[in-house]
Amino acid sequence: MKINAFAKVNLGLDIVGKNEKGYHDLKSIFVPITLHDQIIIFPSRHEQFRVYPKFFIHPEKNTILKMIEVCRKHFNFKEQFSITLHKHIPSQAGIGGGSADAAAVFNYLIDFYGWNLSLDEKIEIAKEVGADVPFCVFNHPALVEGIGDRLSFFSFKPNVHIVLVQAKKGVSTAKAFAGLDYPHLIHPTIDNIQEALIQQDYELFIKSLGNSFEDVAIKLVPEIKVIKDKLIELGCDATQMSGSGSVVMGFSQSEEVIDNCVNVLRGQVRFVRKTSLMVEPQDNLLK
């Protein structure tokens, strides 16, 4: 079976603080985008895993295999699977490539075995693999809080075009968290971003964007700031890094501006792509 694993973007991200267990609490608007990996998966006598284009994924960081083992622990199935992953989502980008892959395989297993899981049960299992996986299971715009496990879904009609640009170097999530300067963090008002999306208030949306990780990410990868400045120079109304980076989003209501950004930056950066927000309700949202 062929399945798509959709990336996500953070439209605003606030690091609220640390909870009593030492985990970082966040508040952010997550929205799936059309950029996706493709996974071919089917039962097999022996476990097989291939990835194209060919690059090494450390076994301990392979979110797909980790998801299968987490589900095996919960449901005690014996089948092995042959998996081929076609990667299109860049790594160390802040747009959830590994999380999307894990979530897509989780949804495949739910359908394959006919597991009757509530929304909360899906979240509890998904978060064992990673903080962004619960959202990627549902692929619908949400206000995300806590460690990624509190999801409040909402709908809106997008009125913005987006370009994704990644520096030639990625940002390690672990280093981004370790480098946070808490007294001087940017704290965007996430509620304003949600309201702007729902009300289609583009001016408020542009004014409210922000990401608590940006300053530390720019220290780790200064090219991020160069990209942000270049996108503004090319006519974008605002820029913001997604997640812990290093992908920068450029926003405009003009598709022509976004297409020009792609044409100008192609070949100068690691990755550049026009993308669209996915806002249609997903079939698995309330199953």
The pLDDT, as a whole number, for residue 174 is 87
The pLDDT, as a whole number, for residue 20 is 73
Active site residue 132: yes
The pLDDT, as a whole number, for residue 287 is 41
Active site residue 229: no
17, containing H or E segment = strand 2-18
**CA-to-CA distance for 268 and 201, rounded, in angstroms?**
33
- CATH number for the domain whose boundaries are 161-275: 3.30.70.890
Q: What tokens were used for 209?
A: 């964007």
Out of 8, 27, 122, 230, pick the active-site residue. 8
- At 177, phi and psi to the nearest 5? -65, -45
The pLDDT, as a whole number, for residue 266 is 96
Percent of the chain topping pLDDT 70: 95
The pLDDT, as a whole number, for residue 21 is 72
Nearest to residue 13, comparing CAs of 127, 125, 105, 148? 148
- Residue intervals of the chain classified under CATH 3.30.70.890 are 161-275
Q: Give pLDDT < 70 ranges for the chain.
A: 22, 55-60, 281-287
CB atoms within 10 A of CB 155: 11
Out of 14, 37, 132, 237, pick the active-site residue. 132
Q: What is the pTM of this model?
A: 0.93
- Residue intervals of the chain classified under CATH 3.30.230.10 are 2-153
Indicate the DSSP class of residue 286.
-
**Contact between residue 150 and residue 144 where contact means Cβ atoms under 8 Å apart:** yes
Nearest to residue 244, comparing CAs of 161, 180, 149? 180
When the candidates are 3.40.50.720, 3.30.230.10, 1.20.950.20, 1.20.1740.10, the CATH number that belongs to 2-153 is 3.30.230.10
The pLDDT, as a whole number, for residue 285 is 46
